Amino acid sequence: MTYFTADILEKYSISQDQLQEFLALNSIVAEGNVIDENAYHLAIDFFNNGRLPSKAVNVDKIKSKIKPSKLAYQTKDKRILIEQEDVIAFLKKQPSDSVDLIVTDPAYSGMNQMLKLGKGKIIGKYNDKGDGQKWFDEFHDTEENYEIFLNECLRVLKPNRHIYLMFDSYSLLTLGQVVRKVFDVKNIVVWDKMNIGLGHYFRRRHELIMFASKGKRPLNSKDIPDVWRIKRVTSMKYPTQKPTEIFEMMLAGSSRKDFVVCDPFLGSGSSAIASIKYGCKFIGCDIAASSIEIVTERIKTFLDTNKDNLQNKSLCEDDLTMKKILSKNDSSI
């Protein structure tokens, strides 16, 4: 990962001279706009406390406070990186304008257990924290939490790039307007699961995907419909597991070869498998240890055997339109 001095300047609204003074006092050498990881965290710790450089800081003391890396898995070529981390902490570590595409399925009722602000404080309250293992019917999280999350997404996303956010109907009603405050919303996509599910009054057969952009960028194709008929996963090894085809459709619309794709709510890792299929780089995180274990094994198996151990067949084979779009997968586009 690359650490930029420009991110520190932007984050703390300090002058270039103040930053240079800090670097000089602590014998930190910057190569152009780049510094190493230890230097970056030293600066973050220093300016987080509202200090300006007047004397050299106690480097050893600050280093002792730096949390160790939560890297869980990384391929040798560094094209895939997975961390076990709180979503906000993970996003804050990413440089500004470093991600080409965000595709994610936030836990509708579980985001409170993943959004930690300040010194580990969780805003709001959710009494049934279950390490991501429980089924959730509603989204209990606050608009404040979601806006913090979205603004971090906006910061790390490159200009003229796309973001896809999955919702159920309840969370869209309460949080969709927050997305419109931060991003330029372009479409609501309906995921038709093709099989009826649970529900109060009308039984559910769909979920929703909000498609938005940072700046202007067309889709790769004008032939992609706003209803995606893809069967849901029925034999799940991880709660709320989504078909890889959901994320493949997102990539079909918005990715190019070697794009950096980010999923900060990794879950079962379907987005990672889709990214590999489309020749993209991938970074992602989840706070649940069970997620990290399953995703790591899933990625390793797919890279070694080209087989997906969580989804062994296509879930859109009954829809010719979906099959046609996904058959055009060419990572060189």
* pLDDT on residue 112: 41
- Fold for 71-327, please state it: Rossmann fold (3.40.50)
Mean confidence (pLDDT) of the chain? 82
Phi, psi of 227 (to 5 degrees): -125, 120
pTM of this prediction exceeds 0.85: no
Residue 126 has pLDDT above 50, yes or no: no
Q: Is the pLDDT of residue 144 over 70?
A: yes
Q: Copy the structure tokens of residue 173.
A: 């009603």
Q: Are 286 and 133 in contact (CB under 8 A)?
A: no
Phi/psi for 258 (5° steps) reads 70, 10
Where does the chain have alpha helices with state H?
5-12, 16-25, 37-48, 59-63, 87-93, 143-156, 169-182, 244-254, 270-277, 289-305, 320-327
pLDDT digits (tens, 9 = 90+) for 159-175: 999 999 999 887 888 89
* pLDDT band of 130, cuts 50, 70, 90: very low
Across the range 60-86, mean pLDDT stands at 77
Most confident of 32-46, 81-95, 137-151: 81-95
The DSSP-derived string for 40-105 is HHHHHHHHHTT---SS---HHHHHTTSPPP-EEEE-TTSSEEEEE--HHHHHHHSPTT-EEEEEE-
- 89-105 tens-digit pLDDT: 899 999 999 999 999 99
pLDDT over 50 (residue 193): yes
Q: Can you count the helices (H) and strands (E) in the chain?
A: 11, 13
- Range 208-230 average pLDDT: 96
What is d(CA 265, CA 288) in angstroms, rounded to the nearest whole number? 10
Distance CA 266, CA 320 (A): 29
> Which residue ranges make up each domain of the chain?
3-63, 71-327
* In contact, 284 and 266? CB cutoff 8 Å: yes
Predicted local distance difference test score (pLDDT) of residue 109: 52
Determine the pLDDT at residue 123.
Answer: 34
pLDDT above 70 covers a percentage of the chain that reads 81
